[in-house]
Structure 1
Amino acid sequence: MADEGDGGVAWLGIDLGTQGVRVLVVTGDGTVLGGGSAPLTGRREGVRHEQDPGEWWEAVCTASRSALARLPGVRIGGLAVCGTSGTVLLTDGSGRPVSPALMYDDGRAAQEAARVRAAGLSVQDTWALPKALWLVETYVQGPAHVRGRIAHQPDLIVSRLIGEVPPADSSHALKTGYDLEDKAWPYAVSAELGLPDGLLPDVVPPGTRLGEVCPTAAEATGIPAGTPVIAGMTDGCAAQIASGALRHGSWNSVLGTTLVLKGASSTPVRDPTGVLYNHRTPDGTWLPGGASSVGAGVLAAAFSGADPEVMDRRAAAFEPSGVVAYPLVSPGERFPFLVPDATALLLGEPAGEADLWAGLLQGVAYTERLCLDYLHHLGAPLDGPLTFTGGAARSAYWNQLRADILGRPARVPHQTEPALGMAVLAAYGTETPRHLHLADVAERMVRTRTVLEPRPGRTAAFAEPYARLVDELTTRGWLPAPVAAHARTRLDRDNASP
């Protein structure tokens, strides 16, 4: 890895998000030299959520050219790409798309998910393996009669960058059924399910060198030809790397369109319900976590065109809000409980727009607290620092509100984006001595902007609405009774603390 003072070498991170592509150029000491972004559009209808994969490449080209436009003389040491976890499409033998991309929360493969579970694999309805079955039945065994190959979101971009079809990284392959402990696809189950031979890609660990940027891609993106391309991880893992939360017991809470919590553990955290799952870093650390369908996306849906800063200031007058919300962005919940037909709920009547905004902010934070309670219930290590990243971490008010409701300190890095995590992984995968761990590289490149402390008395002020939400979720049969009891016990303990 380059010396911290060497401004001549930098690493490039590409984040394929739900609403746009973000590219960052970062030096070995964490200095961001450049950045670029480009929007993405999608189509939502009921449980369907898809994107045109052709837009991804166009957005990558626009964002990367913008990020590199004013950086003459800077050598790009390598790049890595992250995408939304569980987003897949069908491609032909040369890597060209033959289907739309089924996004991370697309729920149309519920019947296929039931078949996968009946075959012995623990999956959620929105995971990539059931969607792979749906794609095969729709495009391969249907009227199109094409021979398909499953591609994850970054696979498509990497293929354009290096000019050939790449193997998938094990992080994105996890929700397609890849076993991180055995390092193998479940081919026996795949055969039982009727998946064609050759459908699933080869798999390599994150941090593996996949190839180099080809001349055609260099001309389109502005990334120099010959730049090493490193296997990435999912956007949640990328944000965790960007947070520096890679030591045992550390956790990162990624709040963007939806909410993702990911931690670090020396061993996998087991969850028989399949709500929690474990990713794995290149150096063998386990990253347990889960993804909720609650998140900041609900604000855009409920308050189109609103100024978030103005609404945050108005919401400060409603602590706690007159309403208690479980603000699902889309139907179905995945974490901290698994209920495919769950819908957003709102208890009470808001006094106005500001009260409703406050209720939604607080509802996301209550969900975040419940996720941590669930992790504690499973025995996950929680004694390390908590970090906030994701687009919503730009809101100073919401960050403080979350720390208050959680009742624990939280760090906010200068950069809260998954693209930074991919720049860190690119540095690790290209020039890092093997005796260093990914955590060592992250700690050199991640800078903490502020540390939030819960305000005295504020955690207790939110105890009653949190308990009310736990009761409602239990009454509806969504939250298992043992988890609810554990959450109440932890709440009582916190309220009893001086």
Structure 2
Amino acid sequence: MRSDQPAAGPLWAGVDVGTQSLRVLLVDADGAVAGRGAWALASDRAGGRHEQDPEDWWRALGAAFREALRGVDPARVEALAICGTSGTFLLAGPDGAARGPALMYDDARARREAEDVAAAGAELWEALGYATQPSWALPKLLWLARHSPQPLRAELAAGRVSLLHCGDYLATRLAGGPVATDWSTALKTGYDPRAGTWPTDVLDKLGLPAGVLPRVVRPGTRIGAVGPAGAAHTGLPVGVPVRAGMTDGCAAQIAAGALAAGSWNSVLGTTLVIKGVTADRLADPAGAVYSHRHPDGGWLPGGASNVGAGALQARFPGVDRDGMDRAAARYEPAGGLVYPLRGRGERFPFVRPGAEPFELGTFADDAERYAALLQGVAYVERLCYAHLRRLGADVTGALSLTGGATRSRYWCQLRADVLGREVTLPRTAEPAFGMAVLAAAGDAPLTPTARRMVRVDRVVPPRPGAPERFAEPFARFVDALAARGYVDEGLAGYAKELP
């Protein structure tokens, strides 16, 4: 059995830039964590606007690295990689300095621009199975081209500024010069992962110069090295290789070890995100599923639902979760049903902007309503896997659970019961860990590196008889979605027929 104590050899650094904090992990060759650091981040929100100050990212990076390196010889760090939220970017000048705030992954101002992007690239997006959304980077870039102060609009039109995704910006600051981006981070900026190119014809129609977009490389590729300014800021040695990262969702998938064909990872936090591995790219006419390229070949399909623990927090703020879990266990299944959307609109396993949360039936008390909400998330998760299987995905491989909701042992057990599947909980299921694994792999195959470094915390099998117990309420739940026009009858029937 491997020791939980880090060895004395080389370490790899992973950086995760989240919404609320930036985190750094230092990890050894066997997956033991030798150092941790974190620093809080603040956001500026108003209506559909969500921005952050890139300078705050840089300050947080320095502070988090110095915390992680406390008591660790910096010379042991072999390489680093950075992940950030998908669709987050800023515009920077030739010197790499930000020309304004970063537009975050969920900034929703570009609604009109999303329609224009959808029309300009309709043929390409249909071929790729994309449903362009206002939060994607390409519509937001078009919004900046139309609504920024005139001097910045002029610079953008002339190609004198560059689009830098979150990780690109920090890598540029660390290296002291321009860097490439990776093909997963570039996806929502319009990158064609099949052809391996930016869609210049679509950009021309939109009046956007292709020169503002970065060069794109395979994740793990060396894109630079820590320069003198980066070393002084972080405590890292000059010359540490900086490797191309991935999106935070892909980073979490790496941390879960879900990289072999047929394996899947369900990330349940504020929302539910499911990602897996297929040999061929899945085509989803509805646009609920999109696919990143796998660094080792093949594809990483997945989707993001708007159900999740966010609905739990909204409806039961400040409750004793452990106590409510124990009380909820008396209601298996609950007498009523809850479709636990956080708000209006759903993205996966179906795309319905007008979808609304709902409750059906009556509840004896708050504990039963709480139980129905936990079960509702699990029902959506099961429906997601039915949709993926209907599209042709192999979903029979290993299934891991990650995200904040895994702190609830009861909810993990419930999800295994509803899915009728054994589930695995990784030991260090953090995106920063996934980036450390990617940094360790570098140009070599990622999958065997992850197999060596990712550790299992526990395995949760379904309880005897539990899948059968939840089959009838799941069928009623799917019927309720179909009755509202959220899912088609074909998917509803298919999902109910699955074991």
The TM-score with structure 2 as length reference comes to 0.90
Describe the superposition over 1:409-447 as per-residue Cα deviations: whole angstroms up to 9, x where unpaired: 1111111111111111000116xxx4xx21100000001
Residue aligning to 1:158: 171
1:90-489 alignment runs, 5 A limit: 90-119=91-120, 120=122, 121=125, 122-125=130-133, 126-139=135-148, 145-147=154-156, 148-348=161-361, 350-429=363-442, 434=444, 437-489=445-497
Deviation at 1:198?
Answer: 2.2
Counterpart CA distance in 2 for 1:331 and 1:99 is 30
Counterpart CA distance in 1 for 2:387 and 2:162 is 37
Deviation at 1:337?
Answer: 1.0
Stretch deviating more after TM superposition (395-404 or 69-78): 69-78
Describe the superposition over 1:81-116 as per-residue Cα deviations: whole angstroms up to 9, x where unpaired: 111122233333333333433332333322222222
Query: Which runs of no fewer than 5 residues in structure 1 stay unpaired?
Result: none
Contact 1:139 1:146 in 2 (8 A): no
Aligned-residue CA RMSD (Å): 2.4
Identity %: 53
Residue aligning to 1:69: 70
Residue aligned with 1:131, SS: helix
Deviation at 1:194?
Answer: 1.7
Stretch deviating more after TM superposition (201-210 or 94-103): 94-103
What letter matches 1:71 in structure 2? Answer: V
Residue aligned with 1:171, SS: coil
Residue aligned with 2:107, SS: coil
Query: Which runs of no fewer than 5 residues in structure 2 stay unpaired?
Result: none
What letter matches 1:452 in structure 2? Answer: V
Alignment CA distance shift 1:349-1:47 (3 Å): farther
Describe the superposition over 1:221-257 as per-residue Cα deviations: whole angstroms up to 9, x where unpaired: 2333321111011111111111111111111111222
Alignment CA distance shift 1:5-1:469 (3 Å): closer
Counterpart CA distance in 1 for 2:368 and 2:104 is 32
Contact 2:337 2:361 in 1 (8 A): yes
Stretch deviating more after TM superposition (370-379 or 6-15): 6-15
Counterpart CA distance in 1 for 2:21 and 2:92 is 22
Contact 2:75 2:236 in 1 (8 A): no
Contact 2:41 2:57 in 1 (8 A): yes
Describe the superposition over 1:430-474 as per-residue Cα deviations: whole angstroms up to 9, x where unpaired: 6xxx4xx21100000001111110111222232233223222222
Counterpart CA distance in 1 for 2:94 and 2:358 is 45
Describe the superposition over 1:348-372 as per-residue Cα deviations: whole angstroms up to 9, x where unpaired: 4554443343333222211111110
The TM-score with structure 1 as length reference comes to 0.90
Residue aligned with 1:165, SS: coil
What letter matches 1:59 in structure 2? Answer: A
Counterpart CA distance in 1 for 2:68 and 2:431 is 15
Counterpart CA distance in 2 for 1:168 and 1:24 is 21
Residue aligning to 1:83: 84
Stretch deviating more after TM superposition (460-469 or 373-382): 460-469
Alignment CA distance shift 1:87-1:357 (3 Å): farther
Residue aligned with 2:405, SS: helix
Counterpart CA distance in 1 for 2:28 and 2:353 is 43
Counterpart CA distance in 2 for 1:259 and 1:5 is 32
Contact 1:140 1:146 in 2 (8 A): no
Contact 2:6 2:27 in 1 (8 A): no
Contact 1:123 1:175 in 2 (8 A): no
Stretch deviating more after TM superposition (413-422 or 313-322): 313-322
Deviation at 1:403?
Answer: 0.7
Contact 2:12 2:440 in 1 (8 A): yes
Contact 1:331 1:344 in 2 (8 A): yes
What is the total number of aligned residue pairs between the two structures? Answer: 483
Counterpart CA distance in 1 for 2:333 and 2:21 is 33
Counterpart CA distance in 1 for 2:80 and 2:346 is 33
Alignment CA distance shift 1:453-1:123 (3 Å): same
Residue aligned with 2:359, SS: strand
Counterpart CA distance in 2 for 1:167 and 1:424 is 19
Contact 1:90 1:135 in 2 (8 A): no
Counterpart CA distance in 2 for 1:323 and 1:334 is 24
What letter matches 2:26 in structure 1? Answer: V
Counterpart CA distance in 2 for 1:135 and 1:474 is 39
Alignment CA distance shift 1:325-1:267 (3 Å): same
Deviation at 1:297?
Answer: 2.6
Contact 1:113 1:123 in 2 (8 A): no
Deviation at 1:5?
Answer: 8.9
Counterpart CA distance in 1 for 2:334 and 2:47 is 29
What letter matches 1:253 in structure 2? Answer: S
Alignment CA distance shift 1:197-1:415 (3 Å): closer
Counterpart CA distance in 2 for 1:328 and 1:22 is 28
Counterpart CA distance in 1 for 2:56 and 2:209 is 28
Deviation at 1:29?
Answer: 0.8
Residue aligned with 1:399, SS: helix
Deviation at 1:307?
Answer: 4.3
Describe the superposition over 1:151-203 as per-residue Cα deviations: whole angstroms up to 9, x where unpaired: 22211221222122322111100111101111100000111012134222221
Alignment CA distance shift 1:285-1:216 (3 Å): same
Counterpart CA distance in 2 for 1:27 and 1:208 is 20
